[in-house]
Structure 1
Amino acid sequence: MSRSATRETPFSLTYGSEAVVPVEFITPSPRMVAFTAEVNDEERKIDLDLTDEIRDAFAARIALHKNIFANYYNARVKYFRFRPGDLVLRKNSISRSEPQGKLNPRWEGLYRVVDASQSGYCKLAHRDGVLVPRTWHAENLRLYYP
């Protein structure tokens, strides 16, 4: 099957030519009828010379395809930024301050955001003002609603 990004089969990307299905030997297809060994050898040499350029073109097309999907996804993402003074809970699976288990809490503590960067990292402090030693990414924090 051909890939949607390259419109080529993985076999053709690897070996530089299309595979012949065994059924085509029994029931000749148009490409088997038009086959001549001399022309095929010449075209195969040309294809082998151009393999690197073809792979580079496909790599560029795949990168473009991934970029289109990333832009499509990121256009719908709503980013949430914490502000200094917000009260947050910290994910217990990341901090591991309490034992992990099925019935244990998923979030722990109540922290105040001291500093928040544009990239989503926050410096936290305990309620008494003592700073937490690490910075935390916003995906590991949750806003506390009293």
Structure 2
Amino acid sequence: MEQTELITLAAALGAPLLVFIGGLISWFLKTRKEDLQAIEERALERRIETYNTILHPLITMFANKSNQKMREKAISEIGSVQYRKAGFNLITFGSDNMVNAYNSMMQAFYKGESENEPKETMRKFAIFLLSIRKDLYNKNTKLKEWDMLKFMITDIEKFIGE
């Protein structure tokens, strides 16, 4: 009889203890997951801010091809400390593909390829835009590099030779 009472007591205490331990583990895992999500959201916000800073003067240059004053302002923005800082952030937070696309695009600008090889410079810009898309939102996108520029170039088919 004593052994039966001991088993009954152990069962009576064991079930609540298991529920408590299970709840504690569940709470710990949920808290950890929420913390990791919050960190990822902050990192995403930081990357978006960085990419916006990087893109602003480039968009200004492409949108204002005939406005020399706006183009000069965009070029001076690219040389600014804030822009360079955003470049360092991109190198730090961006994916490998993002960093390679950015470096390739910037090297094309530094070497003056936009004057001699505008199609190649635009292609590098399109690859950069596509890498932003993949880095932030959709790694498995089916879009191609030129799809990223079709919204802003009316005769893109002539430009890319399709």
Q: Same fold (TM over 0.5)?
A: no
Higher alpha-carbon Rg: 1
Q: Normalising by structure 2, report the TM-score.
A: 0.28
Superposition TM-score, scaled by structure 1 size: 0.31
- Report the structure, 1 or 2, having the larger strand content: 1
